[in-house]
DNA sequence: ATAATCGTAACTCCGAACGTTACATCGGCA
DNA sequence: TGCCGATGTAACGTTCGGAGTTACGATTAT
């Protein structure tokens, strides 16, 4: 499902914020240094995480980012669906008016099993929280 | 996980072969017409499916492809892992020697939950067979 | 006021997938 | 036996999305 490393980067950033605790916001440059990437990349990712209410940004001098919830209440599934495409499978362009019944109906037929696989995936990721991840790091 | 439409295309092609039954091999041009793509793309994909023993190719005149097993014994999981990257998650390049403990240890910490999610995904896809798909098409 | 920080646009770079052409090879069939 | 339709695969161009980078306006603590 993953077409990018955004999920891993997001989990990394969230873990850094979790370990920072309540010591005020952490700026994008700090997070970027740990992730080994560019501050703008972090800010863009944080924008998506903020839209999902997982983090909060503080503007202005000595601003930055902090978690918007208890780390124990943020699951890997929350992070995944905040930064990755909601549809796990990339469908091939179908032609419902195709003379071939397979081409015309495959999309409909696959809907249920693919949705089920996506749900199973989601449920499994939901079992681990950012707190679990942050706590497992020495 | 999915970075391409190869999985859907592969399921499409396998369904076409399943519905063709034992009427001899089906050539790549026929399959490509249904999938609405190029014969070479189909042959490349069939190469991967053949390596996974899911299909059989017949060379020479009047050659083509046919299923190598009972469609009921080929699951969507079989097809998925035959044509997609085995590792569902794309890891960000980690630096085990990083001074930041998160950067140094995240890969290790995430191994178990990510593997679990991949397994859940696999198990769910394994519940549907190519026969199920082919039979659901009028 | 100053300086640090976010938010975001604009651009380049890179890699993967796809489509296409070309051609060597194989093997049933007339 | 020779031909023709098929696979297998290399090579190439195009397209697309993600990542990285620079730049700059807006915001706010000091």
pLDDT at B14: 98
The pLDDT of residue B19 is above 90: yes
Please check whether strand C approaches the CB of A64 to within 7 Å.
yes
DSSP per-residue letters across chain A: ---SSHHHHHHHHHHHHHHHTTS--B-HHHHHHHHTS-HHHHHHHHHHHHHTTSEEEE-STT-EEEESS-GGG-BHHHHHHHHS-S-SS-PPPP-TT-SSHHHHHHHHHHHHHHHHHHHHHHHHHTT-BHHHHHHT--
Of A35, A89, A105, the CB nearest to B8: A89
pLDDT at A4: 66
CATH of B6-87+128-135, one of 3.20.20.80, 3.40.50.300, 1.10.10.10, 2.60.40.2550: 1.10.10.10
The answer to whether B27 contacts chain A (CB < 8 Å) is: no
* 97-116 in chain B: CB under 8 A from chain A: 98, 100-103, 105-106, 109-110, 113, 116
Note the residue count of chain A.
138
The 10s digit of each residue's pLDDT in A56-107 is: 999 999 999 999 999 999 999 999 999 997 777 877 777 777 889 999 999 9
Q: What are the strands, taking DSSP E only, across B14-70?
A: 55-58, 64-67
CATH of A6-91+129-135, one of 3.40.50.2300, 1.10.10.10, 3.10.450.350, 2.30.40.10: 1.10.10.10
Task: Please give the nucleotide, over all strands, whose C1' is closest to the CA of residue A30.
Answer: C5
**Residues B106, A2: C-beta atoms closer than 8 Å:** no
Residues 6+ positions from A69 with CB-CB distance below 8 Å: A53, A54
* Beta pairing, strands A55-58 & A64-67: antiparallel
**How far is B58 from B61, CA to CA, in rounded Å?**
9
The 10s digit of each residue's pLDDT in A16-67 is: 999 999 899 999 999 999 999 999 999 999 999 999 999 999 999 999 999 9
pLDDT at A96: 73
pLDDT at A88: 74
Burial group, residue B45, by CB count within 10 angstroms (0-12, 13-18, 19+): buried
Cβ–Cβ < 8 Å for B56, B66: yes
The backbone torsions φ and ψ at residue A58, rounded to the nearest 5 degrees and listed phi first, read -120, 120
**Residues A100, B33: C-beta atoms closer than 8 Å:** yes
The answer to whether A89 contacts chain B (CB < 8 Å) is: yes
Cβ atoms within 10 Å of B11's Cβ, excluding its own: 25
The answer to whether A135 contacts chain B (CB < 8 Å) is: no
* Residue recorded with tokens 């060379």: B59
The pLDDT of residue B1 is above 60: no
* Residue recorded with tokens 């896809």: B125
The pLDDT of residue B121 is above 80: yes
The answer to whether A128 contacts chain B (CB < 8 Å) is: yes
- Interface with chain A: mutation pick from B38, B100, B132, highest number of A CBs within 10 Å: B100
**Alpha-carbon dihedral sign for residues B12, A115, A131, A62:** positive
pLDDT at B89: 79
For chain B, which residues make up each domain, given as ranges? 6-87+128-135
The 10s digit of each residue's pLDDT in B50-90 is: 999 999 999 999 999 999 999 999 999 999 999 997 777 77
What does the block give as tokens for A63?
């601003």
Give the chain A residue whose CA is nearest to the CA of B103.
Answer: A34
Cβ–Cβ < 8 Å for B10, B79: yes
pLDDT at A92: 74
């Amino acid at each position: 499902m993953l077409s990018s490393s955004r999920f891993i980067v997001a989990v990394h950033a969230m873990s850094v914020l979790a370990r920072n605790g309540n010591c005020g916001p952490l700026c994008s440059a700090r997070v970027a240094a740990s992730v080994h990437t560019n501050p703008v990349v972090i800010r863009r990712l944080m924008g998506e995480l903020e839209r999902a209410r997982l983090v909060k940004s503080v503007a202005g001098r000595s601003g930055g980012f902090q978690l918007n919830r208890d780390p124990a209440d943020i699951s890997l599934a929350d992070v995944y669906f905040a930064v990755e495409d909601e549809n796990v499978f990339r469908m091939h362009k179908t032609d419902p008016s195709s003379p071939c019944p397979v081409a015309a109906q495959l999309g409909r037929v696959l809907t249920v099993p693919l949705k089920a696989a996506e749900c199973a995936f989601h449920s499994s990721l939901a079992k681990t929280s950012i707190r679990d991840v942050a706590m497992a790091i020495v």
